[in-house]
Structure 1
Amino acid sequence: MSHPQEATEDDLAPTETQGYKVGQSKTVAELAALDQEDESLQRWKASLGLAASAGAGGNKKVVLKTLFLSSPTLSKDISIDLTQPAADLAKLKKEPLTIKEGVEYSVGITFTVENEIVSGLRFLQVVKRSGVKVDKTEAMLGSYGPQPAPYTKVFASEESPSGMLARSGTYSVKSRVTDDDNNIWLDFEWSFKLAKEW
């Protein structure tokens, strides 16, 4: 039996779009080899990072770098380094971040894609308080080709709850990043509390 505050697999199941079928997966090399006679198409594919040599390095891999929170009321973003050791990340479940009540904020992530194209990346996040789901975020990130520079995605802004009741507990959060092939690239638990100031 799971702990009452933990997000269940059903909470983190992506919404299925009726009629959507995942397309056939092709490697970067296969895509680069298509339409070899079309010079302008080859230049366009090269600008997307689809050069024939780009996919020669192994299996596709999405590396999550940071999960961050930004707000007009913050002088510097609150950032969680997702590349730190698992033991250090696990501490964030018991050592909550502080978020100011009643302010507009946005959550975002940075990540890199290595070796092959990843399709249908999706961000899922469930927030619970005392075991009750209070918020769920599901955002389609899209499909990305391999490149050394990180991609950054910021989600729609929200307003943090306010009031004495909202400040009286700790919120548990489970964040997950998946793709169309059902790979789970991030499965991370953390917590936060609301306060009058950051």
Structure 2
Amino acid sequence: MAEADKEALSRKFSQASVCSVDDDDDDARPDDDHDTDAVLLGPRVPLKHQIELDKDDESLRRWKEQLLGTVDLAAVGDGAEPEVMILSLTIISPNRPELVLPFPLATNSKGYAFSLKDGSRYRLRLCFAVFNNIVSGLKYTNTVWKTGIKVENTKVMLGTFSPRPEPYTFELEEETTPSGMFARGSYSARTKFVDDDGKCYLDVSYYFEIRKDWPTSKPSREDEHEQKEV
């Protein structure tokens, strides 16, 4: 790769942010699909208040009791808005060590957050924590481009989660990386976590690489340089 290309790679899509409720995807690529299936919910109220309001609705009360389980209501606070912290993404591939990528993502000296072997099977494990209130309809979306062309647009409904001290984990279905000489090279991606209200908890863009072989367990001299956070 030419030096100019390396410099461009390290500069583009190098930001991670928590976006607001009314994020309108102005910075998305022109062909990126906008979500049109958001559910309009009523105003949020603190979790303790919700349970008090629902005490006369037997079916709703039982559903929330099942959802909340052993949640300590004294520890959830009085805020109405849920708080979701996206902790990590783990890449799981047969006969390979798990690759845990904490957020914010870090890149190597070439600007890649991670590298995959072409034609390899893998699955993703998402790890996130929920605080303060129930988050409804949490959704994971991932869009991938190669040479400016969208090659993947994944949307997965993760579900509804109650606040608790322990993080949640969610494994996606197994996939296979594209194979062959033309599939190898640099890819850009944008990953988001959004709830039913349209509130975005993480919006991160980054580069990754598909190559002929897996990276060696011992990093090259070039990759030993200080990593940069995305």
Q: Distance in 1 between matches of 2:200 and 2:133?
A: 16
**1:148-167 matches, cutoff 5 A:** 148-167=165-184
Say if 1:32 and 1:22 are closer, same or farther in 2 by CA, change over 3 A: closer
1:125-180 Cα offsets, whole Å, 9 max, x none, are 0010001000111000111110010001111111101111111x201111000011
Contact 1:109 1:153 in 2 (8 A): yes
CA root-mean-square deviation: 3.2
Deviation, structure 1 residue 50: 5.0
C-alpha distance in 1, partners of 2:143/2:64?
42
- Name the residue aligned to 1:139: 156
Pair 1:32 & 2:44 matched: no
Distance change >3 Å, CA 27–CA 54, structure 1 → 2: same
C-alpha distance after superposition, 1:40-90 (max 9, x if no partner): 94994586245543532534210000012111131x2112111x4xxxx36
Q: Is the 8 A contact 1:100 1:196 kept in 2?
A: yes
- The total of aligned residue pairs comes to 186
- State the TM-score, normalizing by the size of structure 2: 0.68
Q: Aligned pair 1:80/2:101, yes or no?
A: yes
SS of residue in 1 equivalent to 2:165: strand
Q: Is residue 31–residue 50 contact of structure 1 (8 Å, CA) maintained in 2?
A: no
Kept in 1: contact 2:127–2:170 (CA 8 A): yes
Partner of 1:68: 90
Q: Identify unmatched segments of 5+ residues in structure 1.
A: none
Whole-angstrom CA distance in 1 between matches of 2:157 and 2:67: 25
Give, in whole Å, the separation in 2 of the partners of 1:181 and 1:13. Answer: 14
Change (3 A) 1:53 1:189: same
The CA distance in 2 between the partners of 1:126 and 1:133, in whole Å, is 7
- Indicate the SS of the match to 2:166: strand
Aligned partners of 2:92 and 2:124 also within 8 Å: yes
**Identical-residue share of aligned pairs (%):** 30
Task: State the TM-score, normalized to the length of structure 1.
Answer: 0.78
> 1:147 aligns to what SS in structure 2?
coil
Segment drifting more, 173-182 vs 50-59: 50-59
Q: Distance in 2 between matches of 1:107 and 1:191?
A: 16
For 1:88-103, what aligned pairs fall within 5 Å after superposition?
Answer: 89=105, 91=107, 94-103=111-120
Query: What is the aligned partner in structure 2 of residue 108 from structure 1?
Result: 125
* Counterpart position of 1:11: 32
